[in-house]
Structure 1
Amino acid sequence: MRRLLRLLLLLLPVSASAAGFDEFQVFDGRIGEPGSFDLNQHFNAGRRGRLGEGAPRNGLLLETEIGYATAPWHEVAVYIPVAREFSGDTFGGGFKLRNSFVVPGAGDRPFAYGFDVELRHQSYRFAEADWAVTLRPILDLRHGPWQLILNPAVEFPLGRGGPSFAPALRGVRQVAERVWLGVEHYMEFGRIDRPEAPRGQAHQLFVTVDFRLTEKVGLHLGLGHGLTHASDRWAGKVILSVDF
């Protein structure tokens, strides 16, 4: 995965109260050089919506991600979220531990693939189950200026409920030497054995633009809209990327 220092500053007012996403991110399987560390800082803000299953309806979410590439095909990363409601209440969100296994040199291949195994422990204010494991396949296709990435993720709550299906899709086209336009679709269908009706599913569609400001600094902007009543009505994101 690209090594990033991400700054997510803005999630515009939203109105959904059902399913939601704690982060809007599609994984393309690119990782750093073996022996290198990655530091990724996430900032989310929302009003009248959710930052994940149970994160504050009106507040801020700060998530620090530290990654380390152990080999050309493996990276481990830990996520430490902290939330603050606009009412003033601040609380921790446990942790996430992600192991990524990818084909080496993903950024130079017309077809790359990988697999994420993510373990999380979070309180009821963030998620319905304290412990859960997410299995996230990574499929990355590139042809000329086009790129298509699919993450058909499945989450397994430990000790409560059945597995749920939450895929994500990203399509990108390079329109200039340092500019890319994209569309992202985040979906949450509910439990695999008991899927939600269409109105209970979460579907968030983003239009994005990426700028490569320097060889090591990039900027990602996105504006999203919920396609169902169970989705955030509007959402926005800003990502500042720094390669070390």
Structure 2
Amino acid sequence: MRSIIYGMLLFCACPFFSTAQENYEIQVYGSQTVLKGNTMVELHSNFTNDGSRSVVDGVKPTNHVFHETVEITHGWNSWFETGFYFFNTLGNDGRTTYVGSHIRPRVMAPAAWKWPVGVSISMEAGYQKRAYSEDDWTLEIRPIVDKQWGPLYVSFNPTFDKSFHGESKDQGYIFSPNLKAAYNVTKVIAGGFEYYGSVGPLNHFFPYQSQQHQLFAAVDLDWSPDWEFNIGYGWGFTQTTDNAIFKMILGYRFH
């Protein structure tokens, strides 16, 4: 089995189609995949309180718009899952519509290997309408490394985004690091921070104000193994980053 999983990890590191979902799914991934035979259904609900106010490179403004994403993930065995995304936007001035969809296979290193950290890798591929994204056909390769130290949890996603059609198709792979640190205040409540960035190709970072940097204060509630709840408020630090976003993730696991 180990050779099969290694092969899947290598396969997921090869180009195919997807990129950052802009502000449709704001989440730092943990390494654990959905259990075999289970299906996780999540609603990602994000509101941009202070975003772009005019059309930029053909993309409609994000100010005062809701992004509602339905994510359905099924676990096929103890180390492999597949997720499906349905992106939607709600707003005035013709900004209410279905935006696009992605598919995301992911494999993890099984717990039986007894690695000191959790490790998995996902490859997300899909399409978004050009009026809502500078790039419509894209690829995201997301390695995931996480660790629980007592009450402290840390996850790092050194993500790479690639456009195959759109404004960024000639830029190569864009480095978009994500980081989460959360501390269990009680058995149910964990508070912490989430960071989301996009800095440019590894061999040539964009100028700082052309990069994207967001920091969220976030809370996770864990009252049941079948439910997932995350809520947060984020601030942008550069001119190209939406300045203020409220986000919520609500999920339920079907056995």
Fold match by TM threshold 0.5: yes
CA displacement at 1:101 relative to structure 2: 0.7
For residues 233 and 89 of structure 1, do their structure 2 counterparts lie closer, same or farther at Cα, with a shift above 3 Å needed? closer
Match of 2:242 among 219, 227, 232: 232
Look up the SS of the partner of 1:125 in the other structure.
helix
Percent identical among aligned pairs is 26
Match of 2:134 in 1: 128
> What count of residue pairs does the alignment treat as equivalent?
222
Structure 2: stretches of 5+ with no match in the other structure: 1-21
Look up the SS of the partner of 1:158 in the other structure.
strand
For residues 111 and 199 of structure 1, do their structure 2 counterparts lie closer, same or farther at Cα, with a shift above 3 Å needed? same
Show CA shifts across 1:126-157 (max 9, x none).
32222111110000122111111000110111
Q: Give runs of aligned pairs for residues 155-170 of structure 1, distance below 5 A.
A: 155-159=161-165, 160-162=169-171, 163-170=173-180
Match of 1:13 in 2: none
- 8 Å CA contact 1:213–1:219 kept in 2: the answer is no
CA displacement at 1:94 relative to structure 2: 1.9
Aligned equivalents of 2:126, 2:31: Cα separation in 1: 20
Looking at secondary structure, tell me which structure has more helix per residue.
2
Show CA shifts across 1:142-178 (max 9, x none).
2111111000110111152222111100011112121
Q: Give runs of aligned pairs for residues 69-218 of structure 1, distance below 5 A.
A: 69-105=75-111, 111-159=117-165, 160-162=169-171, 163-218=173-228
Q: Give the letter aligned to residue 42 of structure 2.
A: N
CA RMSD of aligned residues (A): 2.3
Structure 1: stretches of 5+ with no match in the other structure: 1-19
Task: Using structure 2 for the length normalisation, give the TM-score.
Answer: 0.78
Aligned equivalents of 1:137, 1:184: Cα separation in 2: 16
Match of 2:3 in 1: none
Q: Give the letter aligned to residue 138 of structure 2.
A: A
Match of 2:16 in 1: none
Task: Using structure 1 for the length normalisation, give the TM-score.
Answer: 0.82
Q: Give the letter aligned to residue 238 of structure 2.
A: T
Aligned equivalents of 2:237, 2:88: Cα separation in 1: 28
Match of 2:43 in 1: 41
Match of 1:26 in 2: 28
